[in-house]
Amino acid sequence: MNKKTNPLPLKTLAISIFLTFTASAYASNDHGSNHVENSHHDSNHGNSTSGGSESKLKSYLIAVNEPLAQGEVKLEQKTSKTEFSAEVKIPVPSTALNVADTTAATDATLTLVLRDNLGADYAECNVDLNKIKTVANRRVSILTAEYKVKITDRNGFLQANGGVCDIDLNASGIQSGVPMIQIGDTAEITIDTNGATIGTGSF
């Protein structure tokens, strides 16, 4: 005698297989999106790859020889561009930096050196004079010289807006580019008037 087969167990099994496959596929796609969103920095400071996320590293300089000196160094990475910049302000005159007047401030050369966490120099930038202006601070007017360097890489197109950076100190000549700062690196800015260190910072 033929028995009528109950279709319920087969239907239940099919639904179970479908749900298991769907859950597995969803978990796989979720893992992939996390990988894409995370940024990756190459250990070589001349290179960096990004998965589409944005990041920023910034350091405020600590004054060394001139107490009134100020500055900051930062690296911003976005989907469309990577931008490195540094800004330094010193009072004029400054006995500690051997800057007697605006002429000395104009002729001075400021150098920014970037070092990795082992203390090895990997990039050097010339920080150009941007402007000299009077800054009022707590009813006291201070003549200030401002210097800056700004290098932008837009999908391989390099643009400099003040200053220049050499990102390969082992090669002859200046290898212009954007210094790829990493956590643990340090920065030091000096002035050629007397070789004094203006400020240092860490990332």
pTM over cut 0.85: no
pLDDT given at position 155: 87
Pairing of strands 62-63, 110-115: unpaired
Of 134, 5, 163, 193, the residue nearest 73 (C-alpha):
163
pLDDT score for 52: 52
Place of tokens 């330094």: 88
Domain of residue 152, residue span: 55-202
Structurally, how many domains does the chain consist of? 1
Say how many C-beta atoms besides its own lie within 10 A of residue 81's C-beta. 14
Is 1 inside any structural domain? no
**Residue 20 belongs to a domain:** no
Where b means 16+ CB within 10 Å and e means fewer, 148-179 reads bbbbbbeeeeeeeebbebbbbeeeeeeeebbb
Q: Tens digit of pLDDT per residue, the chain (203 long)?
A: 444 445 444 444 343 433 333 333 333 344 333 322 334 444 444 444 444 568 999 999 999 999 999 999 999 999 889 999 999 999 999 999 999 999 999 999 999 999 999 999 999 999 999 999 998 877 788 999 999 999 999 988 999 988 999 999 999 999 999 999 999 999 999 999 999 999 999 99
pLDDT at 36: 26
Task: Report yes or no on 146 lying in a domain.
Answer: yes
Q: How far apart are CA 113 and CA 163, in angstroms?
A: 13
Q: Is residue 141 part of a domain?
A: yes
CB 131 within 8 A of CB 108: no
Chain position carrying tokens 């490195």: 84
Asked whether residue 151 is domain-assigned, the answer is yes
The angle subtended at Cα 95 by Cα 123 and Cα 196, nearest 5°, is 25
147 located within any domain: yes
